[in-house]
Amino acid sequence: MKRLLSLLLMVVAVSMAGLAENYPYRSDYLWVTVPDHDDWLYRAGEKARVEVQLYKYGIPQDATVNYEIADDMLAADRKGEVVMKHGRAVIDMGTRNTPGFRDLRLSAVVDGKKYVHHVKVGFSVDEIRPFTREPADFIDFWNRNIEDMRAVPLSYTKEKAEEYCTDKIDCYLLKIRLNKQNQSVYAYLFYPKNAQKGSCPVVLCPPGAGIKTIKEPLRHKYYAENGFIRMEMEIHGLDPRLPKETFDDITKAFNGRENGYLYNGLQDPDRYYMKRVYLSLIRCLDLLTALPEWDGRNLIVQGGSQGGALAIVAAGLDRRVTQCIVNHPALSDMAAYSAGRTGGYPHFNKVDGMFTDRNMRTMAYYDVVNFARHVTADVYMTWGYNDNTCPPTTSYAVWNTFTCPKEALITPINEHWTSDDTEYRQMEWVLKKLR
């Protein structure tokens, strides 16, 4: 326990640099939660206890803490309060008798202001299995649609993006045609300077959720600096050079809770918005493997959240993929809420009437757990327990479905984020796995 507390306090120090989201940047108040198992994991039926601490300016606060306890992402089934002594209290979270996570949700009013925090602990997590089942014609459905897409010859435009070129990297903006309807996606393509024919592994990086520009194109420039060709793509066919105000207006008009792209066409698997998104992944992989600089062996996909989901989709659909790097995948076990279980982003339970038979049928064709069953690439996956966007329950549902070679980095304290150091180490992992 002392070792874990030291680790948590070290994370607090990092947060002062603005890197950790669990602890507010430059806040006077600090929560610390310490489960009585160092790894935050228990067997089903085993009781969990959490020591809760609250500090102001580093000084313990004897506040009254209200708490709720719930299954991951679901409504609370227990409530109570404790009074801290010397800034500390212990809360008995009880247990659960089935595999999954429990969430301890905390709040305290100090100096007239409410402060909140939470911590999740897992029970028999290696036994978590998805609710979602694979349609009998799942592979046939996707093979047919890939074949139809490939009936349209691969074509794209390529323009030098001088603003993202460096002394080590050349960057180009691509517009890639997808289908007979002339729909397209845009992507930035990063090359090592003076890349030679047949010398470069290639990496496809799909985006996180939303309608937005390609965020920070140079954030992962170290891939190209280490000999990779890396493609940073978007999925909506919108030029990433458009002003932020334009993306904001499009989001307000076409990506609200009940009219967002992740809801669009959900009644029919052939009309669902994400169909062309998933197919665009294959189109981009076809482009990357057609580059003369590709080394002919290493085809890598990497992403987080929605991007992590799309990385798994690409690896599940295309056996050419050799390595798959995933952070907290979205779009996983989405229909589980219909059975009173924890489901994945985009949390369709937040909109009434979503779990119709037709909608759930479509969800199954697009759910990441069904693609995970078909991945043969080496997988490196990371996720945190305090994540309320892509909850740990659904990350384990994906992880436990993989039958391919796999390695995990589990960061219990993390919410919906990964550090720059973690992402750099993922590139180092890929370097070790190159064929």
| Among 126, 161, 194, residue at a domain's last position | 126
Check residue 225 and give its pLDDT.
98
Q: What is the mean pLDDT of residues 410-415?
A: 95
Which two three-digit tokens encode residue 334? Answer: 């989405």
Same-domain pairing of 195 and 282: yes
Domain end call among 57, 91, 126 = 126
Per-residue tokens: 6: 């030291």
221 and 76 share one domain: no
What is the mean pLDDT of the segment spanning 237-242?
97
pLDDT tens, residue by residue, 261-304:
999 999 999 999 999 999 999 999 999 999 999 999 999 999 99
Q: Which segments of 291-354 does DSSP mark as H helices, in order?
A: 306-317
Residue 367 and residue 81: Cα distance in Å, rounded? 39
Residue 24, pLDDT score: 58
| Total residues found in the chain within this entry | 435
Looking at the structure, tell me whether residues 241 and 370 fall in a common domain: yes
Domain count, the chain: 2
End residue of a domain, out of 101, 126, 151: 126
State the pLDDT confidence band at 22, using cuts at 50, 70 and 90.
very low
Q: What angle do CA 381, 308, 199 make, to 5 degrees?
A: 80
65 with 149, same domain: the answer is no
DSSP string computed for 28-64: SEEEEEEESSTTSEE-TT--EEEEEEEEETTEE---E
Give me the mean pLDDT over the 206-228 stretch. 96
Distances in whole angstroms, Cα of residue 98 to Cα of each of 44, 45, 101, 129, 192: 6, 8, 9, 11, 50
Same domain, 409 and 378: yes
Tokens of 9: 């306090």
Confidence of residue 215 (pLDDT cuts 50, 70, 90): confident
What 3-state DSSP class applies to 188? Answer: strand
Locate all alpha helices (DSSP H) within 220-378, ordered by sequence: 222-225, 244-254, 274-290, 306-317, 357-366, 368-372
pLDDT at 18 over 70: no
In a domain, 21, yes or no: yes
- Express each pLDDT in 59-87 by its tens digit: 999 999 999 999 999 999 999 999 999 99
288 within domain boundaries: yes
Q: Are residues 121 and 215 in the same domain?
A: no
Residues 78 and 164 occupy one common structural domain: no
131 domain-assigned: no
Cβ proximity of 34 and 4 under 8 Å: yes
The CATH number given to whatever domain includes residue 63 is: 2.60.40.1930
Flag whether pLDDT at 17 surpasses 70.
Answer: no
Would you name the residues annotated as active-site residues?
305, 387, 416
Produce one character per residue of 245-279: b if its CB has 16 or more CB atoms within 10 Å, e if not: eebeeeeeeebeeeebbbbeebeebeebbbbbbbb
Determine, yes or no, domain membership for 132: no
> Tell me, what CATH number does 318's domain have?
3.40.50.1820
pTM of the full structure? 0.94
Question: What is the full DSSP assignment across 368-421?
Answer: HHHHHTT--SEEEEEE-SS-SSS-HHHHHHHHTT--S-EEEEE-TT--S---HH
Nearest to 235 by CA among 191, 190, 281, 194: 281
pLDDT at residue 26, as a whole number:
77
Using alpha carbons only, what angle is made at residue 283 by residues 281 and 289, rounded to the nearest 5 degrees? 100
**CA-CA distance, 64 to 83, in Å (whole number)?**
4
Checking if the pLDDT of 254 tops 70, the result is: yes
For residue 21, pLDDT over 70 is answered with no
Residues 102 and 187 in one domain: no
Tell me whether residue 18 is in a domain.
yes
Q: How confident is the model at residue 25 (pLDDT cuts 50, 70, 90)?
A: low
Q: In terms of domains, do 30 and 99 share one? A: yes
Question: Residues 121, 184: one domain?
Answer: no
Query: Residues 92, 147: one domain?
Result: no
376-398 tens-digit pLDDT = 999 999 999 999 999 999 999 99
133 belongs to a structural domain: no
Predicted pLDDT at 427: 97
Tell me whether residue 181 is in a domain.
yes
- Is 163 in the same domain as 84? no
Six-digit token string for 384: 């945190």
Residue 378 CA to residue 294 CA, distance in Å, equals: 19
Domain extent at residue 237: 138-433
